[in-house]
Amino acid sequence: MISQVRTATLAQAVLPRPRVSTFIGLILALGLLTAIFEAISPSSFDLLDPFSWGSFLKDASKDLGIVVSFGVALAYLGQLAKATAVEGHSRPVLQAVLSKAVKPAPWSVVLGDAVRIIAFSLLITLFARISIHFGDNPVPITGQTLAVLLTGAALGSRLGVLATLMYLAQGSAGLHVYAGGGYGLFWELASGGYLVGFVAAAFLVGFLVERGWDRGARLLLAMLMGNVMLYIPGLIQLALFVGWDKTLDYGLYPFIPGDLAKLYVASLLVPTAWTMLQLRPRKLAIWR
């Protein structure tokens, strides 16, 4: 039987209640890290390529603005949607939306969500650089699946969805965050369906983890279900580019062994993180 929704996710336990100034500093630091990484190495890990400082600073500044603005905006909209869902039962939805738009959640809550959203979108970006192309297959093997499953398990359903939407928004805005440093509108990419699947997978894994599926076989099953959810839109869109006769050969069969390994790794990392937090001495609880 599914248990009651948890009061705190793994990410909230790591970063529970710092001051607003700390949140702002973390947002800027994460945004700057993302911006520098994207500006220096848009398509590879080769950081030694010569570049123009003028171009680099321009690109990094643009990317920093995109990351910070997207992160804070999504965090605010997420809090607005959360509050509206609660109040919508007792008053008209439009009235609830307007009420919460005028009286938003405390900025410490919004900025805390923004930190988590930006951090995990960066995690997905970094894992996307682990990319292996083979043959004429338009879909590479990447580490994104592992990062998305961890995002859902660590953030929960609401923030997991927002973090993956943040990842898609950055790629759509021109940041080289997709596999191999790619970018663009997801419906124009052969692998774009998998990007949509990231959102669904993060939601499903987060939804189940919030209800007690965060240990052992249950967690492994939750991540397996999330992985299956990821493939549904991925295979459908891939078929539009390569044809249904090649879809499974290109978009499913080559990824099964790697996905099983990533599922196992992810299912080990989440309980280990919870154990480390529970064993953490109080004097080391720097975010409290």
Return the pLDDT at 103: 54
Domain range 10-281, CATH architecture: Orthogonal Bundle (1.10)
206 pLDDT above the threshold of 70: yes
The least confident of 219-228, 256-265, 272-281 is 272-281
Tell me the C-alpha distance between 62 and 55, whole Å: 11
Assess contact for 164 and 148: CB atoms under 8 A. yes
State residue 86's pLDDT score.
57
Residues of the chain above pLDDT 90, percent: 28
Higher pLDDT, 2 or 176: 176
- Segment among 98-107, 140-149, 153-162 with least mean pLDDT: 98-107
The residue whose two tokens read 């248990």 is 3
**pLDDT (mean) for 238-256:** 81
For 132, the enclosing helix (H) or strand (E) is: strand 131-132
Element housing 142 (H / E): strand 141-142
4 pLDDT band (50/70/90 cuts)? very low
Say which DSSP state 282 is in. G
Does residue 70 have a pLDDT over 90?
yes
Do strands 141-142 and 131-132 pair parallel, antiparallel, or not at all (unpaired)?
antiparallel
131: phi then psi, degrees, rounded to nearest 5:
-135, 130
Among the ranges 52-56, 132-136, 163-167, which has the highest mean pLDDT value?
163-167
Q: Give the mean model confidence (pLDDT) for residues 115-143.
A: 81
Q: Is the pLDDT of residue 180 over 80?
A: no
Q: Residues 42-54: what's their mean pLDDT?
A: 56
Burial of 164 (0-12, 13-18, 19+ CB in 10 A): buried
